[in-house]
A and B are shown apart, each in its own frame.
Chain A
Amino acid sequence: MLLATGAALVARELTVTLTHRAWVVLLQLGGVVPPVVSLVVWTGAIAQGATPPVPPDRIVTWFVLVAVVSMVTSSWTAAFLAEDIRTGGLSIWLVRPCPALAHLVANNVAEKAVKIVVLLPMVAGLGVVFRAQVTLPRDPAVWLAAMAALVCAGILTFALDVLIGCLAFWFEDVEGVQSLVLLVQRLLSGAVVPLMLLPGPVQEALRFQPFRFTLSFPLEILTGSGVAERADWLAMLGWTGAAVAAVMLVWRLGVRRYEAAGA
């Protein structure tokens, strides 16, 4: 029953996403441009004699893959959830015979399925341009580990995003918090600059914070650190578990407080 409902919701979201094909294409182009700019800057600096702390091939591989990892682990739920809570739109999902967050999960999965189809050829093109410096892992175990880290990162990002959206049960406007978290996340996840390029003590200080596991960790596995240490995996699983548990708790408390029209 739950599986059929989930499949129906994903199918519905797929249809909606496919009606906005041009938007998806432009959006993915927007995801590829930042790493392209970084690639131009870094390869330019290296060509002029810059000596980064890690091999240049690893930096190039990072920037070629970052758009895909970033898209797969992204979440855009908070604003929509907050609006549903504020305007009472949540009510129709509370009375349906499926988990109230199911449609948000379905939206996340379906949109990513369409986006990946558009994004992969763009990233492959980028890989061809920089083929001499892109080094992908050959060991299937590394790919398996990266896939596992990607799934975990996706769940962690989604859970953190839902938590921000749930703040709307208590506050009227969560946009400020969302923007601030986004800024912090950009820096601490490695989206602005790969964490491996930061000074050693800073890297060590940032090693176990949650945002690293939303982007940097899967990329670190793919770009050369092999299967990461057990402590990193435990930290990622711990943060993901804690975030999902926090969502369940906050959701229960929030729904009790929910007072929109019809509640």
Chain B
Amino acid sequence: MSGRILRWWLACWRQAISRDLQFRTQTLLIALGAVVDVAISLVPALVIAQTARTAEGGWDEATAVLVVGLFTLATALLDAVIGPNLLRLDSAVRTGELDLLLIRPIPGLLALTLRWVRPAELTRLLVGAALVVGAFATADAAPTLGAVAGCLLLMGLGTVAWALFWVNASFLSFWWSSAEPAQQIVGALREAGQYPRAAFRRLPLLGFTTLVPSLLIATLPAQVLLGGELAGPLVGTAAVVGLGGGLTAVHWRLALRRYDSASS
């Protein structure tokens, strides 16, 4: 079963890459737009970092750039793999196009979330990596191997936690026929994840690490990379992923029951 899923997903990637090669200008514009978008998202983080440089909480431009860099890495993956599918979900549910995914010989939820990929978004991986390296070069510091491993582990879990939140928010389309703007709300909430921990008071911190887990994408992993504690955030993030996974499974089952397909 897992071999079949892997072959199917590789075929999806092959198809996406050939499509991108066919519409080269469009692909180039998407890649360029993605890079400009990263540059723009650096501005608010840097402006806040400049005003907060002397704050007792302690953060500086290098930390701000590091968080934006990690955020860029994680969101590049999300926008290349999960995003194109969830952005289509509303229309797929309304028009009954979802039928075509449900009848495939692979689990419906996987087909729904992984069918479409946008390789051009991966350009941001390069920009994100450059920002992370640049942040450490500016601070004239280097992370330990353990910190890098801990950060990657936490970031992986945090990205999964956010993906689950995004999937559940997108499932509103099953319950509400005008749920398309929900994507705009999800996108705006995700932006909170590009600021350092010092920018959040206790209550927003709790909300953005549990119900709307945007700080798990990059903010907490950045702290670990800078030498912060790993165990607490790791247990918390794993709990959010576990709960989110259970909730998503139940939500998917209920949503399918509700779905009036084109052929029903």
Instruction: Given A37-B189, A48-B198, A197-B47, verify A20-B40 contact (CB < 8 Å).
Output: no
User: How many B residues have CB within 8 A of the partner chain?
Assistant: 38
A41 contacts which chain B residues (CB < 8 A)?
44, 48, 192, 195, 199-200
Which of B74-82, B124-132, B175-183, B226-234 has 4 or more CB atoms under 8 Å from chain A? Answer: B175-183
Which residue of chain B lies nearest to A51 when distances are taken between CB atoms in the complex? B51
Interface residues of B in 33-59 (CB under 8 A from A): 33, 36-37, 40-41, 43-44, 47-48, 51-52, 54-57
List residues of chain A with CB within 8 A of the CB of B43: 187, 192-193
Interface membership of B184, Cβ < 8 A: yes
Please tell me if the beta carbons of B188 and A30 are within 8 angstroms of each other in the complex: yes
Docked CA distance A217–B184 (Å): 25
Q: A22-B176, A26-B185 are in contact. Are A193 and B192 (CB under 8 A)?
A: no
Within the assembled complex, what's the spacing in Å between the Cα atoms of A180 and B30? 10
A40 adjacent to chain B (CB < 8 Å): yes
Asked whether A198 is an interface residue with its Cβ less than 8 Å from the other chain, the reply is yes
Contact partner of A179 (CB less than 8 A), chosen from B33, B41, B54, is B33
In the bound complex, do residue A198 and residue B56 qualify as a contact, i.e. CB atoms below 8 Å apart? no
Is B191 interfacial (CB-CB < 8 Å)? yes
Whether the Cβ atoms of B181 and A23 lie closer than 8 Å is yes
CA distance A23 to B40 in the complex (A): 28
Q: What is the distance, in angstroms, from A16's C-beta to the closest C-beta of chain B? A: 13
Residues of A within 8 Å of B57, CB to CB, are: 48-49
Instruction: Tell me if B29 and A176 are in contact (CB < 8 A).
Output: yes
Main secondary structure of the interface of A (DSSP, over half): helix
Does A38 interact with chain B (Cβ within 8 Å)? yes
B18 at the interface (CB under 8 A from A): no
User: Known: A33-B189, A34-B191, A37-B189. Contact between A20 and B178, CB under 8 A?
Assistant: yes
Q: How far is the CA of A248 from the CA of B51 in the complex (A)?
A: 45
Q: Chain A CB within 10 Å — which of B25, B185, B189 has the most? A: B185
Which residues from 5 to 28 on chain A have a C-beta closer than 8 Å to any C-beta of chain B?
A: 20, 22-23, 26-27
5 contacts between A and B (CB under 8 A): A41-B44, A41-B48, A48-B199, A49-B57, A180-B32
Residues of B within 8 A of A (CB): 25-26, 29, 32-33, 36-37, 40-41, 43-44, 47-48, 51-52, 54-57, 176-182, 184-185, 188-189, 191-192, 195, 198-201, 204
Q: A23-B181, A26-B181 are in contact. List 4 more A-B contacts (CB 8 A).
A: A44-B199, A51-B52, A180-B36, A192-B44
Lowest 8 CB-CB distances: which A-B pairs, in order?
A: A30-B184, A23-B178, A49-B55, A50-B52, A48-B57, A26-B181, A33-B188, A176-B29
